[in-house]
Structure 1
Amino acid sequence: MTRNAKIIVTIALMLGMALAALDTTIVGTAMPSIVGKLGGITLYSWVFSAYLLTSTTTVPIYGKLADLYGRKPLFLFGSALFLIGSIASGFSQTMVQLIIFRAIQGLGAGAVQPIVLTIIGDIFVLKERARVQGLFSGVWGLSSIVGPALGGLIVDHFSWRWVFFINVPFGLLSAILLMISLKEQVERKKHQLDYIGTLTLSISIVALLFAFLQGGTSWSWLSWQSIALFATSILLLGWFLYEERRAPEPILPLDLFKNRIIVISSIGGVVLGTIMFGITSYVPLFMQGVKGGSATDAGIILGPLLLAWPIAATVSGKLVLSYGYRITAVAGTALTLIGVGLVLLFTPQVALPLIILAMVLIGAGLGFSSSAYILSVQNAVPWNLRGVATASTQFFRTIGGTIGVAVMGSILNAQMAQRFTPIFSHYTEVLQHLPKGVSPANVLLTPDVRASLPLVLLNQLQLALAQSLFWVYLLLFVLAVIGLVAMFWLPGGRADQYAYDAETSADVEAEKPSSSEVVLPHLG
Structure 2
Amino acid sequence: MTKQARILVTIGLMLGMALTALDTTIVGTAMPSIVSKLGGVTLYAWVISVYLLTSTTTVPIYGKLADLYGRKLLLLIGTALFLIGSIACGMSQNMVQLILARALQGLGAGAVQPLVLTIIGDLFSLEERARVQGLFSGVWGLSSIVGPALGGLIVDNLSWSWVFFINIPFGLISALLLIFALKENVTRQKHSLDYLGAATLTGSAVALLFAIQQGGTTWAWDSLPSISLFVVAALLLALFIWTELRASEPILPLSLFKNRFVALGSIGGVVLGTVMFGLSSYLPLYVQGVKGGSATDAGLFLTPQLISWPIAAVLSGRLAIRVGYRFTAILGGILVVAGSFCVAFFNAQTPTLWAVFPMIAIGAGLGLISNVNILSVQNSVPWNLRGVATASTQFFRTMGGTVAIAIMGTVLNGQMQPRFAAILARYPGLAKSLSTQDSPANLLVRPESRSLLPVQLLPQLEGALMQSLFWVYLMVAFVAVVALLIAFAYPRGRADEHAYHSEGEEEEHVEPTLASVDLG
Q: Who is 1:380 aligned against?
A: 380
Query: Could you report, residue by residue, the CA deviation over 1:135-171 in whole angstroms, capped at 9, with x for unpaired residues?
Result: 2234334444654444334323322111111111111
Is the CA contact 2:383–2:510 (under 8 Å) kept in the aligned structure 1? no
Instruction: From the superposition, tell whether residues 64 and 4 of structure 1 become closer, same or farther in structure 2 (CA, over 3 Å).
Output: same
Alpha-carbon displacement from aligned partner over 1:312-346 (angstroms, at most 9, x marks no partner) = 00110110000011111111111100010101111
Mapped contact 2:89–2:97 kept (Cα < 8 A): yes
For the pair 1:457 / 2:457, whether they are aligned, the reply is yes
Cα contact 2:271–2:400 (8 A) shared by 1: yes
CA separation in 2, counterparts of 1:145 and 1:418?
A: 32
Q: Pick the aligned partner of 2:515 from 511, 517, 522.
A: 522
Distance in structure 2 (CA, Å) of the matches to 1:3 and 1:300: 38
Which residue of structure 1 aligns with residue 69 of structure 2? 69
Read off the aligned partner of 2:472 and give its amino acid letter.
V
**2:142/2:309 contact within 8 Å kept:** no
- What corresponds to 2:113 in structure 1? 113
Q: Distance in 2 between matches of 1:408 and 1:71?
A: 37
Task: Tell me the CA shift for residue 434 of structure 1.
Answer: 4.8
Matched residue SS, 1:456: coil
Query: For 1:216-365, what aligned pairs fall within 5 Å after superposition?
Result: 216-365=216-365
Deviations 1:436-493 (A, max 9, x none): 6423341112222211111221111111111111111111111111221121111110
Aligned pair in 2 of structure 1 residues 249, 62: CA closer, same or farther (>3 Å)?
same
Work out whether residues 423 and 461 of structure 1, in 8 Å CA contact, stay in contact via their aligned partners in 2. Answer: yes
Partner residue, 1:89: 89
Note the alpha carbon deviations across 1:83-116, whole angstroms, 9 max, x for none: 0110000011111211111111111001111100
1:437 to 1:286, Cα distance in 2 relative to 1, 3 A: same
Is the Cα–Cα contact under 8 Å of residues 290 and 463 in structure 2 kept in the other structure? yes
Equivalent-residue separation in structure 2 for 1:188 and 1:243 (angstroms): 25
Hey, what's the Cα distance between the residues in 2 that align with 1:517 and 1:322? 26
Deviation at 1:174, TM superposition (A): 0.7
Paired amino acid for 1:195:
Y
- Aligned residue identity for 2:113: Q
Q: Compare 29-38 and 439-448 and name the one that shifted more.
A: 439-448
Contact 1:187-1:517 within 8 A present in 2 as well = no
Residue type of the alignment partner of 1:242: W
1:366 aligned partner = 366
Q: Number of paired residues?
A: 516
After superposition, the Cα gap between the structure-2 partners of 1:435 and 1:234, relative to the gap in structure 1 and judged at 3 Å, is: closer
SS at match of 2:456: helix
In 2, the alpha carbon distance for the partners of 1:457 and 1:149 equals: 30
Alpha-carbon distance change, 141 to 243 in structure 1, aligned in 2, over 3 angstroms: closer
- Give 1:217 shift: 1.7
Displacement, 1:248?
A: 0.6
Q: How far apart are 1:28 and its partner, in Å?
A: 2.3
Distance 1:474 1:362 in 2: 14
Quick one: distance in 2 between partners of 1:257 and 1:149?
A: 38
Alpha-carbon distance in 1 for matches of 2:450, 2:291:
12
What do residues 493-522 of structure 1 show as CA deviations (whole Å, max 9, x unaligned)? 000011101269xxxx99x9xxx9984213
CA distance in 2, matches of 1:26, 1:227: 31
Kept in 2: contact 1:302–1:359 (CA 8 A): yes
Q: Secondary structure at the match of 1:164?
A: helix
How many angstroms apart in 1 are the aligned matches of 2:470 and 2:103? 33
| Separation in 2, partners of 1:519, 1:418 | 63
2:66 and 2:12 map into 1 onto residues whose CA distance is 17
Q: Distance in 2 between matches of 1:503 and 1:203?
A: 38
Counterpart in the other structure of 1:200: 200
Equivalence for 2:466? 466
Which consecutive residues of structure 1, in runs of 5 or more, have no partner in the other structure?
Answer: none
Distance 2:238 2:314 in 1: 39
Provide TM-score, normalisation by structure 2. Answer: 0.96
Letter in 2 for 1:522: A
Residue 2 (structure 1) shift: 1.1
The one-letter amino acid of 1:182's match is L
Q: Percent of counterpart pairs with the same letter? A: 64
Displacement after TM superposition at 1:134 (Å)? 2.2
Is the Cα contact below 8 Å between 1:85 and 1:105 reproduced in 2? yes
CA contact (8 A) 1:17 1:116 kept: yes
Give the RMSD, CA atoms, in angstroms. 1.9
- Contact residue 146 and residue 306 of structure 2 kept, 8 A: no
Q: Superposed, which structure 2 residues align to 1:341-490 within 5 Å? A: 341-434=341-434, 437-490=437-490
The one-letter amino acid paired with 1:490 is Y
Distance 1:203 1:142 in 2: 31
